[in-house]
Structure formats: structure tokens, C-alpha cells
């Protein structure tokens, strides 16, 4: 039988003593210098278009970042947009990055924020969590452990993704309260019922996840809750007791690990701290080798989070 996502994550968090998720948002114009060198060596053989050369550098960069942070993190979170903008070669580099991370024992949370009507949601589930039947055989999807989704279209748009996730021991993370300023435009609005839009989404997440709670008490339907709005955490935790919170916005966006205590639920794995630029670009701020700086910053964030509720 497939192990539930919450249990897989709980085991990984315990084994690594880490709740840290490292975001991979590669900008092909600002990769680690070593990535360009590695790509040039590969490029000398392959030649190729700007897109394929950039994608090759992006894949090399992500491999270096994964290597640097692997001992300190439990998962990586590749931002799909950053690969998608390089087209077909970009998708190949995303697949390669997923493969690398899993080889290093990291879980992969694909940050795709997909959301669409049921037929299309099923296609996205095939793309990220499952396989696609074709007359030429099954086509493997990305093989992510989880994917972020957008719940604006309601329950029936998420159900195909929940079903696919559950079948594969994977998870989904639905947006509940995002880390950006504009989140206030809609998510913080209060409904006639008295709930805010975020709170309504929290109810939806809780309900969709009820049948996906594993032995560790964690559901396979998680929530994205921005680390930039810590005052909302206790309320949202109350509405979603078994939900894994993915907390982006630490570092570059202004969120602080120290302020996230209220996100803690039934298990150390119930609150995942996600940081991207503050780790990967740590060398730009603090100087020194980018990989060493990233490793040091990842270790620091990991220890800080663990000390607050490991």
C-alpha cells in the first residue's frame, strides 16, 4: 500500500531534523558562476540555441544548490515559471532538477499554483503527480512529491488533484493566504458569513484533506500560508489542525522564522519553512563562495526553525 504523504513527510522531517524547504527560482541571468562554467563545458560538445544553453546552465545551477543545501533541508521547491520561460529545454531542466533532488533524498514540492476546471485539473495531476496514457505507452509526469494549487475555482477543481495525489502518496498545497502585499485585495476580505476569504479557503482545505490524514496526524492536502502575515497563523491553524503549512516568504520577502511559532501543529512536519533568494543569493549579500554561503544560511534557518518546535 502507498504510504500517505503526511507520513512520508513526517519521516523525512524526523530523519533530517529539518523543516526547511529551499526554493529554486533560477534566473538564467543570475546563476552561480560555476553553473555557467559547467554549462560551457557541456555546451562545447552540444552547441545549441540560447534556450538550450540557458536551460543547461539552469540545471547545473540547481544541481549545485541542491548539493549545497541537501544536508540541511527536507525538500526543494522548484518554481515552475522559472523553467517554463525557457520552453521545451526549460522543462527538460526542470525534470532533471526533480530527479537530482530525489536522488539526494529530498522531497520535491513543485511550485506551480495550477488551478482549472475538472478535466484540466486531471491533466495537471497527470503532469505533476501521475502519468498520461497514450497509444505509445504511459508518459511519466514530473514525479513531484507535491504540487501547489490555486483554489479559486472551488472544490471540484481540486478533487482530481487530491485523488491523484492520494493514489501516489503525494500531496497538494492549496493557496490559503499568500505572502504578497496584494493578498489583501481578495484573500483578506470578509464575507457576509463572517469568515474572510482565506478562512473560507482554509475550511475547504480542511474538508478536502479529511480522508487523507495519515498516522502522524498530517493530511495530504496542505496549505500555503505566507510567512509575512504571522498574525493570521493561530487562527488558520485552528481551522486546519491536520494541515501541513507551507510557509513561503522567509527572508527576501520579509518573513522571520522567529514569528512563525503559531503555525506549529500536531507534528514538527506540520509547518514547513520555505526560503529561496535568502539562501541561494546569500553569497551576494555576505560575500564568499555562493555554495558555502547558501549552506551556512540553510543551516542557520534549519536550526532556528527546529529550535522553535522540532
Q: What is the contact mask toward its own copies in residues 234 to 273, using x (rule: CB under 8 A)?
A: -------------------x--------------------
Question: Which residues between 280 and 309 bind its own copies (CB under 8 A)?
Answer: none
Whether the CB-CB separation of 26 and 63 falls below 8 Å is answered with no
Q: Which three three-digit cell numbers place residue 156?
A: 471540484
- Interface pick for its own copies out of 45, 47, 192, 287 (rule CB under 8 A): 192
Q: Is 189 in the site for its own copies (CB under 8 A)?
A: yes
Which of the residues 87 through 126 are near its own copies (CB under 8 A)? Answer: 87-92, 95, 113-121, 123-124, 126
77 noted as active-site residue: no
Cell of 276: 529561496
Site for its own copies in 37-96 (CB under 8 A): 50-51, 53-54, 57, 79, 81-82, 84-92, 95
Please report, as residue ranges, which positions from 133 to 172 form the binding site for its own copies (by CB under 8 A): 133-142, 150-158
**Range in contact with its own copies (rule: CB under 8 A) among 65-73, 184-192, 258-266, 284-292:** 184-192
Indicate the residue among 200 and 308 with the shorter CB distance to its own copies: 200
Rounded CA gap, 60 and 199, in Å? 41
Bridge partners, 245 (sequence order) = 223, 271
Work out how close the CB of 43 gets to its own copies at its nearest, in angstroms, rounded to a whole number: 9
Give the nearer residue to its own copies in terms of CB position, either 1 or 136: 136
Compute the C-alpha angle 254/259/264, nearest 5°.
125
Q: What are phi and psi of 101, to 5 degrees?
A: -65, -45
Active-site residue, from 104, 113, 277, 300: 113
Spatial neighbors of 106 by CB under 8 A, at least 6 apart, are 66, 70, 73, 74, 75, 76
Taking phi over 0 as left and psi of -120 to 50 as alpha, with beta for the rest, 174 belongs to: beta
Closer of 18 and 179 to its own copies (Cβ): 179
32 binding its own copies? (CB under 8 A):
no
- A 10 A CB-CB count for 186 gives 12
Task: Region of 240 please: left (phi>0), alpha (psi -120 to 50) or beta.
Answer: beta
| Window 199-218: contact mask with its own copies (x via CB under 8 A) | -xx--x--------------
Q: Which stretch binds its own copies (CB under 8 A): 177-185, 231-239, 261-269, 293-301?
A: 177-185
Extract the runs of DSSP E, i.e. beta strands, from 51-106: 75-78
Radius of gyration for the alpha carbons in the chain, expressed in angstroms and rounded:
19
58 vs 296, beta carbon nearer its own copies: 58
Catalytic center residues: 113
Amino acid at each position: 500500500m502507498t504510504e500517505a504523504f503526511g507520513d512520508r513527510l513526517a519521516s523525512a522531517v524526523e530523519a533530517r531534523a529539518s523543516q526547511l524547504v529551499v526554493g529554486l527560482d533560477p534566473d538564467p541571468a543570475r546563476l552561480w558562476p560555476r553553473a555557467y562554467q559547467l554549462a560551457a563545458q557541456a555546451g562545447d560538445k552540444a552547441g545549441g540555441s540560447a534556450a538550450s544553453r540557458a536551460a543547461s546552465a539552469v540545471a547545473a545551477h540547481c544541481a549545485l544548490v541542491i548539493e549545497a543545501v541537501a544536508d540541511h533541508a527536507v525538500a526543494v521547491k522548484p518554481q515552475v515559471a522559472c523553467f517554463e520561460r525557457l520552453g521545451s529545454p526549460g522543462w527538460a531542466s526542470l525534470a532533471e532538477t526533480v530527479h537530482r533532488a530525489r536522488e539526494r533524498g529530498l522531497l520535491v514540492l513543485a511550485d506551480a499554483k495550477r488551478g482549472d476546471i475538472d478535466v484540466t485539473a486531471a491533466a495537471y495531476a497527470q503532469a505533476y503527480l501521475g502519468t498520461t496514457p497514450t497509444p505509445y505507452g504511459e508518459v511519466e509526469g514530473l514525479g513531484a512529491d507535491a504540487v501547489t494549487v490555486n483554489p479559486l475555482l472551488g472544490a471540484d477543481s481540486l478533487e482530481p488533484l487530491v485523488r491523484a495525489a492520494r493514489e501516489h502518496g503525494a500531496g497538494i498545497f492549496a493557496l490559503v493566504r499568500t505572502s504578497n502585499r496584494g493578498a489583501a485585495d481578495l484573500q483578506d476580505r470578509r464575507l457576509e458569513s463572517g469568515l474572510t476569504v482565506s478562512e473560507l479557503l482554509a475550511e475547504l482545505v480542511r474538508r478536502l484533506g479529511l480522508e487523507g490524514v495519515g498516522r502522524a496526524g498530517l493530511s495530504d492536502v496542505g496549505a500555503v500560508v505566507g510567512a509575512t502575515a504571522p498574525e493570521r497563523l493561530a487562527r488558520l491553524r485552528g481551522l486546519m489542525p491536520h494541515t501541513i503549512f507551507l510557509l513561503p516568504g522567509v527572508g527576501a520577502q520579509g518573513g522571520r522564522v522567529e514569528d512563525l511559532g503559531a503555525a506549529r501543529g500536531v507534528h514538527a512536519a506540520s509547518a514547513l519553512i520555505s526560503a529561496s533568494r535568502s539562501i541561494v543569493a546569500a553569497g551576494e549579500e555576505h560575500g564568499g563562495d555562493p555554495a558555502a554561503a547558501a549552506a551556512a544560511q540553510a543551516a542557520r534557518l534549519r536550526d532556528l526553525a527546529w529550535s522553535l518546535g522540532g
